[in-house]
């Protein structure tokens, strides 16, 4: 049973304390908060004897820290210890510590959250608006731990080690959440309730410290449960025992007398208490699974309080975790990214229903229904729209695959650069694009299922999809711009303008993809605030290029039609019709993406259209390539060539050697007669110079 009886307390305090656990810390980094005095200093001395690569002692006073360094060096001979300033009563100080570690820290193997206070008889709030004991003992250490967590994960992955986080708690947590205290814990916002003046005045003063130690246990268990993706990270709470320490020097009156009496009767030495912190940080080799989320007391994992493991206690733990996490996300935006990338939404979640209960367990049932409806509405406009777009993109990829198969079957003698350099390469790019977009929906609906904040970031795969999207545009528009240049002849005004638009598109798209990967994966809002103009520029450039190429093609086909007769006109008319139809599809889709972006930028509808665009481009191109079979069978005309392609926005036109046999009746100036006319695109002379011949200049 998780109870602290008087007999258990006395027997633990009077037992023979095991020698300090010793391991080799060469090359490893250790951080201990409050390491300039008391238990923290004794633990730091023990760590120093294990030769860590770096030993960082975090404390409020730099002056006291330097004095501690001098004594530590004198007692142990270790000279590599460092003093870093950390004031847990200020969130700004915690952020500054994390910023410094990002610049100078490197690896991190052991983090001991030891610093804390016992509280005061006066009601004192920090500059951040929380009662001092709650912020110092609970909220700031949690922020500190979460901001340093990525470095421990990175250390575990790169060095194949098992980093540990140790949160100093106490056996007094067994006496936490008495009847009066529970009244405040049952309020909708537990953090605000425990920071209120009513809580300070209406509950026993020593119980404030007890409650913070229970919240330490809650944090350890909640964080460990959410680190399933990183099984090598170990987090535990430790009871150092009742020790001689300056920790209780602020007590006065009867409390000070009772404390002094207990110290004489049962207290451990400060050094013996420091051993407990060290054991929690390096001990228990071979039994690491038991340590995960465990409560360590005197060198072994024991059961925490009955309340903490009861259904009521577990519900309070989940509520406390969610509310504290919301606070910390507001304190430092990095917390949101860390939780999205590294943590599961809830502990022990097996199904979607449990996920939603986890989100709403602290909400009144009637309000829970309203919140669920609101979440569904938000998901309809974001994940719902994106999912529909991605599913359609999957169907279109299936059509692309069928088009590629048809091309290989119908045109086995196609030139290698077209068959493999265009058709097969396009299929491979589209395969990669499809994998990326489906990973995006997996990221939202599986990896971070139920997390209401996940829609505020984009996965890395979206940035990769944009890179592949750009490749499709370059290949398709580049090829058709080249064809227009061949067909129209000099001066190459339209092709040159199209080439400039393509170059601008390429620069914009790949700049955009880089920012999607580096910024949008952390905050979509930050990305949109900074790079919205570039997104809009990409959409505009693509629409202009598409309309320009399609319009140019239609113009030149109409011009070519004026000199043709009979079934040649039918072929040209068919090419014009295909140009208009496919041009309208791609151009309208591009224009719609602009409209959606301008009017629905708070949804993912515009993003869904972006997922579809490369699929539409590729399908239209392949469909027109395969349409050569129809042209060959049209009326009395035969198109026998190495290819008919869609230009610009994918209008079908012949390319390569083209032979067209047409029987026409032509009235010349001298006579009217029936004869057979034959010409080729490469013809340089004729057999009948006196006859008027049509020209097909496409």
Q: Is residue 697 part of a domain?
A: no
pLDDT for residue 575:
56
pLDDT bin (cut points 50, 70, 90) of residue 583 is low
As a whole number of angstroms, the distance between CA 201 and CA 224 comes to 34
pLDDT for residue 78:
95
Q: Is residue 659 part of a domain?
A: no
Task: State whether residue 453 is helix, strand or coil.
Answer: coil
pLDDT for residue 55:
96
Least confident among 110-114, 378-382, 444-448, 624-628: 378-382
Same domain? 337 vs 475 = no
Which of 303, 331, 360 marks a domain boundary? Answer: 360
pLDDT bin (cut points 50, 70, 90) of residue 371 is very low
Q: Choosing from 209, 379, 444, 597, which is the catalytic residue?
A: 209
Same domain? 435 vs 290 = no
Same domain? 267 vs 395 = no
Cα separation of the two ends of the chain: 89
CATH classification at residue 354: 3.40.50.720
Residue 106 to residues 49, 99, 158, 160, 447, Cα–Cα distance (Å)? 22, 12, 11, 15, 28
Residue 81 pLDDT > 80: yes
Kindly state the helix (H) or strand (E) to which residue 674 belongs, with its residue range.
strand 672-680
Same domain? 394 vs 249 = no
What is the rounded average pLDDT for all residues in the chain? 77
Q: Is residue 80 part of a domain?
A: yes
Same domain? 447 vs 310 = no
- Residue 444 bears catalytic tag: no
pLDDT bin (cut points 50, 70, 90) of residue 498 is confident
Same domain? 160 vs 207 = yes
pLDDT for residue 604:
73
Q: Is residue 685 part of a domain?
A: no
Q: Is residue 110 part of a domain?
A: yes
Stronger pLDDT, 154 or 266, i.e. the higher one = 154
Residue 568 pLDDT > 50: yes
Same domain? 349 vs 424 = no
Determine the average pLDDT of the residues in 462-485.
Answer: 82
Same domain? 511 vs 430 = yes
Stronger pLDDT, 42 or 664, i.e. the higher one = 42
398 CB-contact burial (10 Å; exposed 0-12 / middle 13-18 / buried 19+): exposed
Least confident among 256-260, 296-300, 575-579: 575-579
Residue 425 to residues 29, 116, 620, 625, Cα–Cα distance (Å)? 49, 62, 16, 15
As a whole number of angstroms, the distance between CA 638 and CA 334 comes to 65
Determine the average pLDDT of the residues in 524-553.
Answer: 79
pLDDT for residue 330:
92
Same domain? 165 vs 246 = yes
Q: Is residue 663 part of a domain?
A: no
CB 660 within 8 A of CB 638: yes
Percent pLDDT > 70 in the chain is 75
551 CB-contact burial (10 Å; exposed 0-12 / middle 13-18 / buried 19+): middle
Same domain? 192 vs 277 = yes
pLDDT bin (cut points 50, 70, 90) of residue 638 is very low
Q: Is residue 677 part of a domain?
A: no
In sequence order, which residues have a C-beta less than 8 Å from that of residue 7 and are 6 or more positions away? none
DSSP secondary structure letter of residue 268: B
Q: Is residue 591 part of a domain?
A: yes
Determine if the pTM surpasses 0.95.
Answer: no
Same domain? 321 vs 412 = no
Measured in whole angstroms, the distance separating CA 406 from the mean position of its chain's CA atoms is: 39
Whether cis (ω within 30° of 0) applies to the bond prior to 491 is yes
Same domain? 210 vs 234 = yes
pLDDT for residue 415:
84
For 262-302, the pLDDT digits (tens) are: 777 777 888 998 999 999 999 988 888 999 999 999 889 99
Residue 688 to residues 232, 464, 647, 679, Cα–Cα distance (Å)? 87, 59, 34, 12
Give me 62's structure tokens. Answer: 């730099």
Determine the average pLDDT of the residues in 667-688.
Answer: 33
Task: State whether residue 116 is helix, strand or coil.
Answer: coil
As a whole number of angstroms, the distance between CA 563 and CA 546 comes to 27
- Number of domains composing the chain: 2
Residue 695 pLDDT > 90: no
Residue 346 pLDDT > 60: no
Range of the domain at 450: 373-654
Tell me the range of 145-149, 257-261, 411-415, 630-634 where mean pLDDT is highest.
145-149
- Torsion of Cα atoms, 65 then 116 then 188 then 330, to 10°: 10
As a whole number of angstroms, the distance between CA 695 and CA 192 comes to 84
């Amino acid at each position: 049973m998780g109870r602290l009886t008087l007999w258990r307390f006395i027997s633990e305090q009077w037992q023979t304390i095991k020698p300090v656990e010793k391991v080799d810390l060469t090359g490893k980094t250790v951080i201990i908060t409050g390491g300039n005095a008391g238990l923290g200093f004794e633990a730091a001395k023990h760590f120093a004897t294990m030769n860590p690569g770096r030993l960082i002692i975090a404390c409020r006073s730099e002056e006291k820290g330097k004095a501690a360094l001098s004594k530590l060096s004198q007692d142990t001979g270790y000279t590599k210890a460092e003093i870093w300033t950390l004031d847990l009563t200020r969130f700004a100080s915690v952020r500054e510590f994390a910023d410094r570690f990002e610049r100078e820290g490197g690896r991190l193997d052991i983090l001991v959250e030891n610093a804390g206070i016992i509280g005061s008889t006066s009601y004192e709030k920090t500059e951040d608006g929380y009662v001092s004991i709650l912020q110092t003992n609970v909220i700031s250490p949690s922020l500190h731990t979460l901001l340093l967590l990525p470095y421990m994960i990175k250390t575990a992955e790169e060095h194949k080690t098992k980093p540990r986080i140790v949160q100093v708690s106490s056996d007094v947590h067994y006496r936490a959440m008495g009847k009066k205290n529970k009244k405040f814990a049952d309020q909708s916002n537990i953090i605000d309730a425990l920071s209120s003046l009513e809580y300070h005045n209406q509950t026993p003063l020593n119980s404030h410290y007890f409650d913070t130690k229970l919240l330490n246990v809650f944090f350890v268990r909640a964080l460990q449960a959410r680190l399933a993706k990183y099984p090598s990270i170990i987090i535990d709470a430790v009871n150092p025992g009742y020790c001689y320490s300056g920790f209780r020097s602020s007590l006065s009156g009867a409390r000070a007398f009772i404390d002094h009496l207990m110290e004489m009767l049962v207290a451990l030495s400060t050094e013996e208490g420091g051993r407990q912190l060290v054991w929690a940080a390096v001990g228990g080799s071979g039994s690491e699974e038991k340590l995960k989320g465990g409560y360590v007391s005197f060198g072994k994992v024991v059961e925490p309080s009955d309340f903490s493991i009861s259904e009521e206690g577990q519900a309070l733990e989940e509520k406390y975790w969610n509310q504290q996490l919301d606070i910390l996300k507001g304190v430092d935006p990095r917390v949101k990214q860390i939780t999205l990338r590294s943590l599961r939404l809830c502990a022990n979640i097996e199904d979607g229903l449990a996920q939603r209960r986890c989100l709403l367990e602290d909400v009144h049932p009637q309000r829970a229904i309203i919140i669920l409806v609101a979440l569904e509405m938000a998901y309809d406009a974001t994940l719902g729209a994106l999912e529909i777009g991605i599913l359609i993109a999957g169907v279109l990829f299936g059509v692309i695959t069928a088009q590629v198969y048809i091309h290989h079957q119908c045109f086995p003698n196609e030139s290698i650069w077209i068959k493999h350099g265009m058709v097969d390469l396009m299929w491979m790019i589209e395969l990669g694009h499809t994998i990326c977009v489906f990973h995006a929906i997996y990221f939202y609906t599986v990896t971070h299922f139920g997390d209401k904040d996940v829609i505020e970031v984009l996965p890395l795969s979206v940035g990769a999809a944009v890179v592949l999207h750009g490749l499709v545009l370059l290949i398709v528009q580049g090829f058709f711009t080249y064809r227009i240049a061949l067909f129209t002849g000099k001066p190459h005004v339209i092709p040159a303008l199209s080439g400039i638009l393509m170059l601008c598109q390429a620069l914009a798209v790949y700049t955009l993809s880089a920012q999607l990967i580096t910024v949008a994966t952390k905050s979509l809002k930050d990305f949109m605030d900074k790079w919205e103009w570039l997104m809009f520029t990409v959409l505009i450039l693509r629409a202009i290029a598409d309309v320009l190429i399609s319009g140019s093609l239609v113009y030149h086909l109409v011009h070519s039609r004026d000199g043709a007769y009979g079934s040649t006109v039918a072929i040209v008319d068919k090419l014009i019709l295909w140009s208009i139809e496919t041009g309208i599809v791609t151009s309208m889709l591009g224009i719609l993406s602009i409209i959606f972006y301008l009017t629905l930028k708070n949804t993912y509808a515009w993003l869904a259209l972006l997922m579809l665009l490369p699929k539409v481009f590729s399908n239209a191109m392949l469909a027109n390539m395969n349409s050569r079979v129809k042209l060959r069978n049209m009326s009395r005309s035969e198109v026998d060539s190495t290819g008919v392609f869609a230009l610009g926005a994918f209008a079908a036109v012949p390319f390569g050697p083209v032979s067209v046999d047409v029987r026409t009746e032509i009235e010349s100036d001298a006579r009217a007669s029936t004869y057979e006319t034959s010409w080729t695109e490469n013809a340089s002379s004729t057999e009948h110079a006196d006859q008027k011949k049509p020209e097909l200049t496409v």
